Amino acid sequence: MDNRTPIIELIGLGKIYNNKNSSVRALEDINLSIYEGEIFGIIGLSGAGKSTLVRCINYLERPTEGKVIFNGIDLSKVSEKELLKIRQSMSMIFQQFNLLMQRTALQNICFPLEIAGVPKKEARKRAYELLEVVGLKDKAKAYPAQLSGGQKQRVAIARALATNPKVLLCDEATSALDPTTTRSILNLLKEINQKLGITVIVITHEMSVIEEICSRVAIVDKSQIAEIGTVEEVFMKPKSKIAKQLVFSGANHIEIFEGKDKLRIIFDGRTSFEPVIANMVLECKTPVNILFADTKDIYGKAYGQMVIQLPDDESGKKRIYAYLETHKIPFEEVI
Ligand SMILES: Nc1ncnc2c1ncn2[C@@H]1O[C@H](COP(=O)(O)OP(=O)(O)OP(=O)(O)O)[C@@H](O)[C@H]1O
């Protein structure tokens, strides 16, 4: 059991959308604790219920079952007015940035402060400070149309920070960005988490985003939580089928791996992957087929995974198992 106090607690949370002729269950019995200061990931395929979940967390959407406890407050028990105030403590950023196109970057950041009744001069001062935090000091007077996707998301982040939130909810915040810009935005979120102590909740369909910045992750599948754990645990030993799909970065791969005699080798930064495979083949005197590789070389260290086909002969197989065990290289059989 974790003895930290959760900043957000979801207890038996459920959501059914009732329309005229039909009802859709979007969430079922979600139980989850998110702790102050962590970067928590929520991942799932399209339609799994992620957006509904994040909108229930800040009560933009009212759950039909269960409770959301934010900072010790049961959100079902507070008035609309109090909810508005609480939502200032749970800012949100989106895939499409949602900036006001007729306002400059500075005016966009001032917007939530104006709504909160902050005097204009004070709001501008705070907005300039926030532009500096997100590295856009020179873009104060630029309109959203004059900014790149990454810059727009930086303005959106600055605007989200304007009300001094405790939690930042990021709904597919990097899904519209290229890989390099994605990394720079994720680094900014990490920096905000570390320097300002803001709890960050990242909703995504990409495992790479989770691996990059989250400490823990919940996998949502068909309206329910399929798996929850530290990113390391889920990455190293995914238990559910959906976790395996996501870790193998796509549903297409999993069928290829089903069958006998396949191993997933995990590169956790302690090894350099080229020598591992090359040395294993040389030392075990047996060739292996690499069926899938998704590895990154970061400063000479290997991160990621590789699926190999074991040789047919039993003694070759044994030598490979022994090699991996002796060298303390994490692996699991692919079932
Ligand atoms: N307002 C609504 N009315 C009826 N059904 C809805 C509504 N919003 C979402 N749903 C349904 O609820 C389910 C979960 O949707 P949700 O948008 O939460 O999933 P998601 O995981 O965020 O998907 P995506 O990644 O594609 O945005 C889906 O079946 C969806 O069709």
Per-residue pLDDT of 110-120, as tens digits, reads 999 998 899 99
Q: What is the pLDDT of residue 237?
A: 77
- Residue 206, CA atoms < 13 Å, CB-side half-sphere: 16
Residue 256 within any structural domain of the chain: no
User: How many domains does the chain divide into?
Assistant: 1
| In the predicted structure, residue 225 carries a pLDDT above the cut 60 | yes
Instruction: For residue 318, tell me if it sits in a domain.
Output: yes
CB of 46 within 6 A of ligand 1: the answer is yes
Q: Is residue 330 part of a domain?
A: yes
Whose C-alpha lies nearest to ligand 1, atom 30?
A: 47
* Element holding 15 (H helix, E strand): strand 6-18
Which pLDDT belongs to residue 271? 67
Is ligand 1 within 6 A of the CB of residue 25?
Answer: no
Domain assignment present for 145: no
pLDDT at site 304: 78
Distance between CA atoms of residues 48 and 248, nearest Å: 18
pTM beyond 0.95, yes or no: no
- The CATH number for 315's domain is 3.30.70.260
Tell me if 311 is assigned to some domain: yes
**Distance from the alpha carbon of residue 60 to the mean position of ligand 1, in angstroms:** 14
For a mutational test of ligand 1's pocket, the pick from 43, 52, 169, 171, i.e. the residue with the most ligand atoms closer than 8 A to its C-beta, is 52
Cβ neighbour number for residue 104 with a 10 Å cutoff: 19
Q: What is the chain's alpha carbon radius of gyration, rounded to the nearest angstrom?
A: 23
Please classify residue 21 by burial: count the beta carbons closer than 10 Å to its beta carbon, then call 0-12 exposed, 13-18 middle and 19+ buried.
Answer: exposed
| Ligand 1 binding pocket includes 17 (Cβ within 6 Å) | yes
| C-alpha distance from residue 33 to each of 13, 86, 92, 139 (Å) | 12, 18, 19, 38
| Amino acid of residue 253 | H
**ipTM higher than the 0.85 cut:** yes
Q: Is the pLDDT of residue 314 over 50?
A: yes
- For residues 335 and 264, the answer to whether their CB atoms sit within 8 Å is no
Greatest CA span in the chain, whole angstroms?
A: 77
**Structural domain harbouring 306:** 262-334
In a domain, 214, yes or no: no
Q: Is the pLDDT of residue 270 over 80?
A: no
